[in-house]
Amino acid sequence: MEPILLVAVGGFTGAVCRHAVSVALPGGFPWGTLAVNVAGSFALGVLLFEAKLADRLSAETRLVLGTGFLSSFTTYSTFAVQTAALSPTLAVANVAANYALGFAAVLAGRAVVRSLANPEVAR
């Protein structure tokens, strides 16, 4: 039962935070969704590479943050619906921005973990 509660708490918190960012960044372009997807990609990059390189976080922490918080904080379905509602030019820009910045954010997360990890492990 504990894993389900950890995912639920993380998911609730991630959804609330995503909503707050969307409300804070309104407009004709889905800036809020782009912001949460890029921030979430960075955080997931840190979390996953931390497990591989440093392994200091507990399995429960990874569960509440990765499966719970980040899976509710980031959103593919909203990204898809918002992209479909944009003009063709803005839709292409939104897809390019989400994917390019998302991948760059994962790589940045990995770089952060590598810079903090033990030099022998970080190779």
Residue range 106-120, pLDDT digits in tens: 999 999 999 988 766
pLDDT of residue 121: 54
Q: Is residue 122 one of the residues assigned to a domain?
A: no
Instruction: Give the count of domains, the chain.
Output: 1
Q: Is residue 18 one of the residues assigned to a domain?
A: yes
Q: Is residue 100 one of the residues assigned to a domain?
A: yes
Percent of the chain predicted with pLDDT > 70: 95
Q: Is residue 80 one of the residues assigned to a domain?
A: yes
Q: Is residue 30 one of the residues assigned to a domain?
A: yes
Q: Is residue 79 one of the residues assigned to a domain?
A: yes
pLDDT of residue 63: 95
pLDDT of residue 53: 84
Q: Is residue 77 one of the residues assigned to a domain?
A: yes
pLDDT of residue 119: 65
Q: Which domain holds residue 52?
A: 2-116
Can you tell me the mean pLDDT for 11-32? Answer: 94
Q: Is residue 46 one of the residues assigned to a domain?
A: yes
CA dist 121 to 3, 4, 54, 55, 93, Å? 29, 32, 7, 10, 38
Residues contacting 17, CB < 8 A, separation 6+: 36, 69, 73
Can you tell me the mean pLDDT for 35-41? Answer: 98
